[in-house]
Chains A and B, each alone.
Chain A
Amino acid sequence: MSEEILQVHNLRVEYYTSKGTLPAVNNVDFSLRAGERFGLVGESGSGKSTLILAILRLIQLPGRIAAGEILLDGVDLAKLSLDEMRRKRLAEIALIPQGAMDSLNPVVRIRDQFKLIMRAHDDSLSKAAITERIAELLKWVGLDNHVADLYPHELSGGMKQRVCIAMAIALRPKVILADEPTSALDVIVQRRVMETLANVQERLGATVLLVGHDMGLMAQFVDRLGVMYGGKLVEVGPVRELFKDPLHPYTQLLIQSLPSLEIQSEFQGVPGLPFSLTDPPSGCQFHPRCPRKMDHCSVLAPQLQEVRPGHWVSCHLY
């Protein structure tokens, strides 16, 4: 097994609200191996995006990282000073944002935005070196070099997202965090964006953490998959195994709800609604919606444990 590049231990992110402190990410524990593609799925509000922002230390008040370690190549990001953290961003760990529509500065040309982010990490870069690097990066993501001289509003959604990918890999980071990079794009553009991401990942040998709720996309792209529910990781395993033989009842329902071309049947989903963080259920957070609920589920919270080699689940059934 290759070395673990990113380890998240007992990470807890809290938001202060008038109704008390809400744990948006609740004791999450996982690690990424160098070069792998790891997926995180979950309903809206399950804490996926918050987790990504927490890894980058971008949680803004009224939220904060309450506890836990984020080890990037052995260095705990949670303990770095603000400026040390700033230098790590993009250089070692980069973000591909959700909704590229408003992710680029609307009044600055693409070329100058590249310049700004490169100079922020290395003042000594010459103009020629930057120009050359921009051309190379745009080529990598399949964009023409003249795109550099355009403004963001002159690009299509897919082009913007590919510019964002090019920016994310500008300094060859070890880890790329992609937060629903294809949301708001049509399927054809989605596919091209994902191909682009796969390409640059292979070239760089970077590790990718892909967050989303599109199970089909995950099945095609990632090696391992984690499932989040209510701020907790409920199941982690190799993606094929997880699809063929999901262990957690929530994962089972998610996979059953995928529409199939062969069998046309009633539209399926997970019964019930996600709980409110202000009033979490006792015991296992999923028990009010769980079809295989047992008596002690409402009392005792299950722990994430390895029930098969590399396959972890947090459920009393196992």
Chain B
Amino acid sequence: MNVGALARRLGLFVVVIWAAASFNFIVPRLAPGRDPIQQRLGQMAAQGGYQQQGIDAMVKAYQARFGLDQPLWKQYLSYLGDIARLDFGTSIALFPTKVSDLIIHALPWTIGLLLMSTLLAFTIGTLLGALMAWPRSPRLFQYLVAPLMTLSAVPYYLLGLILVYVFGVIVKVFPISGGYSTGAVPNLSMAFAWDIVKHSILPALSIVLAGVGFWAMGMRAMMVTVEGEGYMLLADAHGLKPRTIFFQYGMRNAILPQFTALALSLGYIVSGSILVEVIFTYPGIGSVLYRAISGADFFVIYGVVFMIVVAIGLATLLIDLVYPLLDPRITYERT
């Protein structure tokens, strides 16, 4: 790839992030009568039975403190400056915890759980899908089509609920909530690592099971298409070994669209599979976002949503940069 094309692609990334950030800034301010401070203080007042005039003074004081009394363009500029420093302000519900701290603490849990389970589901699903479409596979794989198709249609959170019921209620083999045992102190010992793994098995399983079906169905469809190509017939006529034809001719060509889908789903990892994290009370980004939404914690919502946008932007940037290496027909040369 040449330097100009690389610069253009990076420029596009910056523009996407900027547009998302601006959108994030404008939309809540378009909502009529939604002053988060007024709202928050109003709630507190209702609980404590304060008088109205005292509240007005407090709102003014807080607005000055958060910079909300400034003209809009000044707010916008300082907002952009904050975003660039990944400073999303402070949580309203957990004041004065910084939003960035909340995210940083939750992120490793989500990335650990979702990255592993997404990659695992991708690998298993893609391989199964290819084998299901391969005429020389054992019969067994033909029978897998129906169950995997069903699995791909079942939402992962429903699978999560079933798993909780089966392994947490009927047979109590795995812990059903949290990232580690309550009372355990996070440290670097093997025992604690095993504790984390045990806690991650059920949420990971629900994501992997649902994901395998999805990846297998996609790969199967592509593989069937590829099998109709002339090069598959010629590969056979050239006396190539079935294994070579399967991997280097069949899968190698059929997997290309799978990578695009993988990049996008890697982007969504940051948002966490919210419902899975909620079901298993897993301490990841999904749980943070869930609490923020239910508690109208605007700054946290902005922060998390912005992180999602950045992650998806990064993932698509990555796949765009890597794709020419996977498929030589795609280049960024100007013709």
Contacts and interface: CB of A to CB of B under 8 A. Distances in A.
Interface string B319-331: 0000000111100
Interface in B41-65: none
B234 A116 contact: no
Q: Which of A87, A104, A105, A108 has the most CB of B within 10 A?
A: A105
Contact of A89 (B230, B239, B256): B239
A86 B329 contact: no
B233 A101 contact: no
A61 B327 CA distance: 31
A88 B252 contact: no
A89 B236 CA distance: 8
A107 B234 contact: no
B253 interface: yes
B239 A105 contact: no
A121 interface: yes
Interface stretch (A3-11, A90-98, A211-219, A282-290): A90-98
A109 B252 CA distance: 13
Contacts of A164: 234
Contact of A86 (B231, B241, B252): B241
A202 interface: no
Given A60-B135, A108-B248, A86 B239 contact: yes
B325 to A, nearest CB: 10
Interface residues of A, number: 33
Q: Which of B229, B231, B253 has the most CB of A within 10 A?
A: B231
Contacts of A104: 231, 234
Contacts of B235: 105
Contact of B237 (A90, A109, A121): A90
Contacts of A86: 239-241
A157 to B, nearest CB: 13
A109 B328 CA distance: 9
Contact of B253 (A91, A103, A105, A117): A105
B1 to A, nearest CB: 16
B246 interface: no
Contacts of A153: 328-329
Nearest to A164: B234
B328 A107 contact: yes
Contact of B252 (A61, A101, A107, A117): A107
A317 interface: no
A117 B329 contact: no
Nearest to B239: A89
B248 A87 contact: no
B254 to A, nearest CB: 11
A116 B244 contact: yes
Nearest to A120: B240
B8 interface: no
Given A105-B249, A120-B239, 6 more contacts: A89-B237, A104-B234, A105-B235, A107-B252, A107-B326, A116-B240
15 contacts: A58-B236, A58-B237, A61-B135, A89-B237, A90-B237, A95-B234, A95-B237, A97-B234, A97-B237, A102-B231, A105-B248, A109-B328, A116-B248, A120-B240, A151-B329
Interface of B: 135, 229-231, 233-241, 244, 248-249, 252-253, 256, 326-329
